[in-house]
Amino acid sequence: MRHAHPARPGVPEPTLTSDTHAPCRNPGSADTPAIPAQHQGPTHSPPSATSPLHGLTRFNAASAAEAEALLLSCCRSRRWAERVAAHRPYPTLDALLAAADEAGYDLSRADLDGALAAESSAPPHPDAPPAARTALRAAHAAYESSFGRAFVISLEGVRPGERLDQVLAGIRSRLGNEPEEERVIAADELRRLARARLAFRLSEGLTLRHSEA
């Protein structure tokens, strides 16, 4: 259960508002964000080269290595990627996302810790004012100092103009958690984030490619 905690010294109040949205990049690069692009195309349009249906068809038909590479770009757990890929074909995108959720809950502690450790803090939007960038860097640094890993949060459904406030408020409220309590919350956010990344990649028709890992 999440609880609000008093702000710790050095953690900015969540009052600055800006867009923390950043494009998706494959995990393993230095600038991999913890917050992915989560835009999805129209849900009622006919199948096209960038529709979820087209992406799902390609995902189902891909080789195991290709499917696992795409999945690893959503969550850096080899076990999770192998399990989701092994249960293809999926009849619908919802079925695939449900399977991704289920596989996430079945990860061992070591698998989950490894996936969390592979995440990186997302930078603010390049157009964010200097004060906003400074506030976000300070908040991320405080969290990483306390828990030894990047702050993970899913911003699915949050409007761009509210994302910075959401991240700052999330860091502030979670800094007071005990390590195990925070690990459980971070794991839940990672599952939501992996689901959003997967939906985004399929809806955008991104190219399947072999992982560099």
**What tens digit of pLDDT does each residue of 87-99 get?**
999 999 999 999 9
Is the omega angle on the peptide bond into residue 129 within 30 degrees of 0, that is, cis?
no
For residues 193 and 154, the answer to whether their CB atoms sit within 8 Å is: yes
Tell me which of 35-39, 122-126, 160-164, 203-207 is least confident: 35-39
The average pLDDT across 67-71 equals 95
What is the share, in percent, of the chain residues with pLDDT greater than 70? 70
Chain-centre distance of CA 145, in angstroms? 21
Quick: pLDDT tens for 106-154: 999 999 999 999 999 888 878 888 998 899 999 999 999 999 999 999 9
| CA 79 – CA 101 distance, rounded (Å) | 13
Terminal C-alpha separation, the chain? 35
What span, in angstroms and rounded, lies between the C-alpha atoms of 89 and 61? 8
Q: What is the mean pLDDT of residues 150-163?
A: 91
* Among candidate residues 206, 192, 166, 189, the one with its CA nearest the CA of residue 40: 206
Give the pLDDT of residue 110: 95
Q: Is the pLDDT of residue 81 over 60?
A: yes
- Cα distance between residue 172 and residue 183, in whole Å: 15
Residue 184 has pLDDT above 50, yes or no: yes
Tokens of 163: 């994302």
C-alpha to C-alpha distance for 33 and 29, rounded to whole angstroms: 9
pLDDT for 79:
96
Give the integer Cα–Cα distance in Å for 196 and 190.
10
How does the average pLDDT of the chain come out, rounded? 77
**Residue indicated by tokens 């799902």:** 56
> Closest Cα partner for 24 from 206, 167, 171?
206
What are the structure tokens assigned to 168, written together?
């700052």
CA 29/CA 120 separation, integer angstroms:
9
At 205 the pLDDT is 58
Name the band, by pLDDT with cuts 50, 70 and 90, for residue 52. Answer: low
Residue with tokens 């992406």: 55
Stated pTM of the model = 0.72
Q: Average the pLDDT over 175-180 and give the result.
A: 96
The answer for 60, left when phi > 0, alpha when psi is -120 to 50, beta otherwise, is alpha
Q: How far apart are CA 191 and CA 186, in angstroms?
A: 9
pLDDT at position 160 is: 84
